[in-house]
Amino acid sequence: MKFRDGMWLQAPDKRVEYAEEIYSITERENKKLSLLCPTAHIHSRGDTLNRPTLTVDLEAVVDGIISVEVTHWHGAVNRGPHFDLFPGGRPSVEASIEKNDAGTTLVSGGIAATVTSQPHTFDIRFHSADGKHRLTSLLNRSVGLAYSPATSSPMDTADMRDFKHYILTQTTLGVGEQVYGLGERFGALNKVGQSISLWNADGGTSSDQAYKNVSFWLSNKGYGVFIDAPERVELEVGSERCCRVQTSVEGQRLKWYIIYGPTPKEVLSRYATLTGKPNKVPAWSFGLWLSTSFTTEYDEKTVNGFLEGMREREIPVQVFHYDCFWMRGFHWCDFEFMSSHFPDPKSQIARLKESGLITKVSVWINSYLGQASPVFKEAAEKGYLLKRKNGDIFQWDLWQAGMGIVDFTNPEACTWFVECLKKLFDTGVDTIKTDFGERIPTQDVQWHDPKVDPAKMHNYYAFIYNKLVFEALQDRYGKDEAVLFARSACAGTQRFPVHWGGDCESTFEAMAESLRGGISLGLSGFSSWSVDIGGFEGYPDAAIYKRWVQFGLLCSHSRLHGSNSYRVPWLIDDDDKSEQGCSAVLRKFTQLKCCLMPYLYSQAMESIKHGWPVSVRAMGLEFPEDRSAWSCDQQFMLGSSILVAPVFDESGDVEFYLPRGTWTSFWDDKTVKGPQWVREKHDFDTLPLYVREGTILVLGRPGEKRTTYNWTSPEEHEVRLYEPRANSRFSLYNAEGNLVTVLEAEENRGVWNVKDRQTDL
């Protein structure tokens, strides 16, 4: 939202008043500074009358984090829901307040904020505690309040029903500074120059709307900002003033946290401490998931035929997913298999698992109940559905006819919903696709909990929805065996993996959009991510399908899924049995992922521990000093050591960037020195896959078809060294997610070997 018309004028429909000076500084308990900031320069006692003030509170939160809260009217009720912060416990902090001629400095571990001592000036500088790194600042006209429409007199605000009130801040952008994150966004990776509204929407992958809006952004200058506001947040990232990031919310207060690294990985780790680390995910979930697709016609025979066809082609499937039409039309969600198509689902699922065709089963659900479903009547009678202010149940005909929305602010509704899930678990369902959760109304609604703000519930609903289902899975299967396939999210929802990219088209362009979305989400604190391989909308031709298979099998999680067409390979290319056919490509990359499991799963455990993305990891996270690396949005790191460059062209031509160092092709051991841009041409059975120098790479045996096996056993793995160095090391985890050993490179008379440090653990 823009509040000005260029540099000099205010927007015609807005009145903006800025904090013009820091009138007084008060020290509070727990190392907190409270700044009283009038919206005019105060030169005499008379200047204190008939004008607003803004309060800016600075607090030392934990090491490397300072919170900033701006408030206009303190009497405004601060309704929930509020983000669940420090879910793992709040660490202690070494904080201090120091004063000198330059001003008052609040220190919070490695970060500090200095408030100017200059009279009639508004100036707050954020920097490293040692003074070596300048981060950002709040300068002249950077903190303000605004009315829309513009007020003509303070008397107008006696009745606020026809006015909207906003709080805004503007942090400075340095020369060359870039901004990343803000959730799964499908446009340009660097957000500078963009206007962004953090408001969950079901908009596909080809617009500025997003399913996963996360109020956190990361600067390439070594810091990040988390905006503690579940409601709609509007950002002008160098788009109202080119040298500032403007954040605004409707209301009387705005709070955000500035998080210092200095490296981007350290910023993400501190952000994970603040909002929550992702839960561990089981090794089986990294295998191939095969879906029925959405509106396709399928029954028990179809499912069996698909899985038997995959086995015949030696393509291992770990999870079979039943999408929406496992239930009857107009009956979503009644949690009942359609008897005409699945007469005995429990027995069928048991047979599939016993035969070894699959390991696990997933089903689609959402939290919307169509009124034709018997569960709608039950939930309505018991008061479990969101209501309008007049007492009616909120209904509309968008998606399901007359659908209602489960009100998860009602504890009894939560208990009932979990009981519905338990019936699925009893049938043999192991994991849940939690679709939707974005279309949550804010007008004319009354939640069961009267203390919540409907505007805040819109985005936050995704958190409580996914949390409820994830914890139900944990209760049934164990703390580290729970897996979702979730679409909607807000800050903190990274605690409940996995998330997938939503509705993309079956095109190369949509494949690139999806990758940008995944990279952006990874820079927002999410470790695990997947995509609809082949594209959701449309009919992928063989070239698009195979290139998407290569990309999708090198994401942390991999699922074949479509809308109105199947995604089994033999239906894409008329069962081409050549080595360049769809089945052969899918077989090769599915088995490649199984072979990579010792490396991939170990990297996943490290990433989850720190709050980093496992795959589709931004190049800038690994090479933060390389300006070219930050610009790369068509390639990514798989963990810390493997570079992946998907092919976005039918011809097989691809251009990618190798940062400084020696890189080795995974396929043929060819080495290339970086930094440089490289052009290659690839058939459908390869893509650029390069291993970073200094890597100890642990792999399963060639042709491996399992994602869960005893890969820590020497009989089950091989170890490769790539340009080893004295500090080369690799932490190897087993399939249960436990650290088993640390491998280190050791030189003896010019020959490099690997030393096992297991005895030292």
Q: For 562, phi and psi rounded to 5 degrees?
A: -145, 180
For the question of residue 669 being annotated catalytic, the response is no
Three-state helix/strand/coil letters over 264-332: HHHHHHHHHHHHCCCCCCCHHHHCEEEECCCCCCCCHHHHHHHHHHHHHCCCCCCEEEECHHHCCCCCC
Instruction: State the pairing for strand pair 529-530/499-500.
Output: parallel
Instruction: Check 438, 513, 606, 744 and give the catalytic one.
Output: 438
Smallest CA-to-CA distance from 123 within 21, 41, 200 is with 21
* Sign of torsion over alpha carbons 84, 87, 91, 92: positive
Quick check: is 449 catalytic? no
Question: Given 69, 435, 622, 693, which residue is catalytic?
Answer: 435
Cα Rg of the chain, angstroms: 27
Query: What tokens appear for 282 in the block?
Result: 């089981």
DSSP code at position 523: T
Strands 484-486 and 431-434, by their bridges, are parallel
Rounded-to-integer distance, Cα 529 and Cα 194, Å: 24
Task: Please tell me the number of Cα atoms within 13 Å of 26 on its side-chain side.
Answer: 9
102 and 118 Cβ atoms separated by less than 8 Å: no
Q: Is 228 a catalytic residue?
A: no
- 96 membership: H or E segment, kind and range: strand 95-100
CA–CA distances in Å: residue 577 to residues 101, 106, 580, 587? 78, 67, 8, 11
Cα within 13 Å of Cα(655), Cβ side = 3
- As a whole number of angstroms, the distance between CA 174 and CA 177 comes to 5
Instruction: List CB contacts of 448: < 8 A, sequence separation 6 or more.
Output: 383, 407, 409, 410, 413
How many other CB atoms sit within 10 Å of the CB of residue 754?
A: 18
- For residue 318, which of 726, 725, 705 has the smallest C-alpha distance? 705
DSSP state of 569: G
Catalytic positions, written as ranges: 435, 438, 503
